[in-house]
């Protein structure tokens, strides 16, 4: 389906196909239609991006209802965690981006609490980071010397942990 959206975007930009209002169908919730219109007018967002955003926003509205006054931070976090368990990293990042933008729209329109966009968790991506295989004894001494004097303890996995204040 994604390829179809890209192709129709190309046809619209080339003037072959008339511009459409993505989201302006009888099946989409009113809030989603308003959001798409707002994003086009204020941010110049492409229809293909709005179609991608609409997937996550549509699921949110289906699960949580269409009254933004009922949205709460715990329920938004639970929604993101539930969605992330069913999809990959890239789709989860798209979901969180879409939800943050949707919540910013609702905040700008005065339809939900001003701090609710901060409730959407950030997606960690540590794919390129790694831990060193070993650390030199001299470096261990430096780490220990930089810590407050709090006792060491042995973790359940057998590792030694420094207590740091």
pLDDT in tens, 23-77: 444 456 899 999 999 999 999 999 999 999 999 999 999 999 999 999 999 999 9
| pLDDT given for residue 52 in this prediction | 92
| pLDDT value for 157 | 59
Q: Residue 127: what pLDDT?
A: 65
Confidence at residue 17, expressed as pLDDT on a 0 to 100 scale: 74
Domain assignments of the chain as residue spans, ordered by start? 2-119
What ranges in the chain are assigned the alpha helix state H? 2-13, 30-43, 47-64, 73-86, 89-108, 137-146
Mean pLDDT lowest among 6-15, 16-25, 64-73: 16-25
Give the pLDDT score at 26: 42
State yes or no: pLDDT of 78 exceeds 60. yes
- Which residues neighbour 109 within 8 Å (Cβ) at sequence distance 6 or greater? 34, 38
Question: What local confidence, expressed as pLDDT, does residue 165 receive?
Answer: 47
Question: Residues 43, 45, 49, CA angle at the centre, nearest 5°?
Answer: 145
As beta bridge partners, residue 161 has 153
* pLDDT tens digits, 83-112: 999 998 889 999 999 999 999 999 999 999
Check residue 27 and give its pLDDT: 53
Q: When comparing pLDDT for 121 and 163, which is higher? A: 121
- Residue for token digits 């941010």? 43
Residues 135-157: tens digit of each pLDDT: 888 888 888 777 765 555 555 55
């Amino acid at each position: 389906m994604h390829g179809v959206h890209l192709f129709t975007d190309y046809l619209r930009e080339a003037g072959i196909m008339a511009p459409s209002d993505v989201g302006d169908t009888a099946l989409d919730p009113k809030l989603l239609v308003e959001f798409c219109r707002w994003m086009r007018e204020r941010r110049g967002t492409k229809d293909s991006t709005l179609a991608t955003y609409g997937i996550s926003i549509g699921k949110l509205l289906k699960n949580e209802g269409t009254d933004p006054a009922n949205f709460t931070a715990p329920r938004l976090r639970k929604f993101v965690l539930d969605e992330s368990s069913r999809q990959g990293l890239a789709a989860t990042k798209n979901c969180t981006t879409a939800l943050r933008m949707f919540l910013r729209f609702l905040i700008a329109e005065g339809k939900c609490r001003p701090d609710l966009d901060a409730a959407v968790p950030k997606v960690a991506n540590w794919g390129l980071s790694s831990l060193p295989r070993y650390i030199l004894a001299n470096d261990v001494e430096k780490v220990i010397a930089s810590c407050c004097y709090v006792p060491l303890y042995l973790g359940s996995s057998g590792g030694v942990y420094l207590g740091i204040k």
